Amino acid sequence: MATNVVRRWQRDDLMKQRVLIVEDEFLIALDLEATVEGMGMQVAGLAHDRGQALRLAPLADIAFVDVNLADGPTGPEIGRRLAQEHGIAVVFMTGNPEVVADGVKGAVGVVQKPVMPSVVEQLVKYLAARRVGMFAVVPAQMTVFA
């Protein structure tokens, strides 16, 4: 009985995770938003540069961050700050994974674009489970930082 209560509590916590999308290509951002909302989860906001991302940070638990944004290659710095200053689980989603291949302090990992909706769903589930202390399998498409 107690195990079922804990599992239900953990499952409820999974669905309460809010996702921040830091992406300057509007159609990609909308596609990510639709995928996340289609899972029944909330999008904390869409940001296309450092200023917007940091303003939305207090509302988020998980973030997908592109490397190159409207204000230049600020993604790695944004990801580091989101993770370290706000405790957000950050995954870089970029066409340039080599830029963050050595890792970014506090960030979880990187996925190379293009990213299929099924992979986005796997990433959200993995990051949400990780945040609430549940076991989860790392999506095969993600390179995990050490």
pLDDT of residue 26: 96
Q: What would the two tokens of residue 7 be? A: 């599992």
Count of Cβ atoms closer than 10 Å to residue 115 Cβ: 22
- pTM of the predicted model as reported, rounded to 2 decimal places: 0.90
- Is residue 142 pLDDT above 80, yes or no? yes
Model confidence at 41, in pLDDT bands (50, 70, 90)?
Answer: very high
Contacts of 83 (CB under 8 A, 6+ apart): 89, 90, 104, 105, 106, 107, 108
Contact 41, 20 (CB under 8 A): no
pLDDT of residue 24: 97
The tens digit of pLDDT for each residue in 75-92 reads 999 999 999 999 999 999
Q: Which range, of 10-14, 27-31, 68-72, 132-136, averages the lowest pLDDT? A: 10-14
pLDDT of residue 135: 87
Nearest CA to 68 among 60, 56, 77?
77
Contact 100, 92 (CB under 8 A): yes
Whole-angstrom Cα distance, residue 41 to residue 34?
10
